[in-house]
Amino acid sequence: MDTSPEHVFLLEGAASFLDVVYETIEAHVQRTGEEYEQVITGIEGADVGDVDHESTAVLYVYALGTVEPEEAEAWIERALDRIADDHNMDLSRAGVQVTREGELEEEEGTNEEV
């Protein structure tokens, strides 16, 4: 089990959808002081307030380190589905990639070895 206090996931996809994701999660965490979808402790990104709706964006999502990374990723996927349903953004949701930060480093290391 990972002993880090949080898992970090990278979301990449349509800026219009990720702006809604950011606003939804940030508002919930700030208002309640509790996790969103039981595991999401925070979110951050650049230029999320005034986005070009034709572009892509990147967000960092922080999840509890006390759950397995695969379980945290499943909860994040569910959160994205719920937000897409609430805002009628299923098409934009379909294009969002969720990657655990450690997986990115592992893939880069594998690519360099080849």
**CATH at 105:** 3.30.70
**67 lies in some domain:** yes
**72 lies in some domain:** yes
Q: Among positive and negative, which fits the CA dihedral 33, 101, 58, 77? A: negative
Instruction: Please give the span between the terminal C-alpha atoms of the chain, in angstroms, as a whole number.
Output: 29
Judged against a pLDDT cut of 90, whether residue 24 lies above it is answered with yes
**26 lies in some domain:** yes
- What lies within 8 Å, CB to CB, of 36 at 6+ separation is 24, 25, 28, 29, 79
Structure token pair of residue 50: 């005034």
**39 lies in some domain:** yes
Confidence tier at 2 by pLDDT (50, 70, 90):
very low
Q: Which structural domain range is residue 86 located in?
A: 6-113
**48 lies in some domain:** yes
CA angle 68-74-79, nearest 5°?
125
85-92 long-range contacts (CB < 8 A, ≥24 apart) are: 86/24, 87/17, 87/20, 89/16, 89/17, 89/20, 92/13, 92/14, 92/16, 92/17
- More confident position, 85 or 52: 85
The residue type at 70: E
pLDDT at 105: 54
pLDDT at 45: 84
Looking at the structure of the chain, the number of domains it has is 1
- The pair phi, psi for residue 48, each rounded to 5°, is -90, -15
**60 lies in some domain:** yes
The residue type at 95: G
**77 lies in some domain:** yes
Confidence tier at 5 by pLDDT (50, 70, 90):
confident
**1 lies in some domain:** no
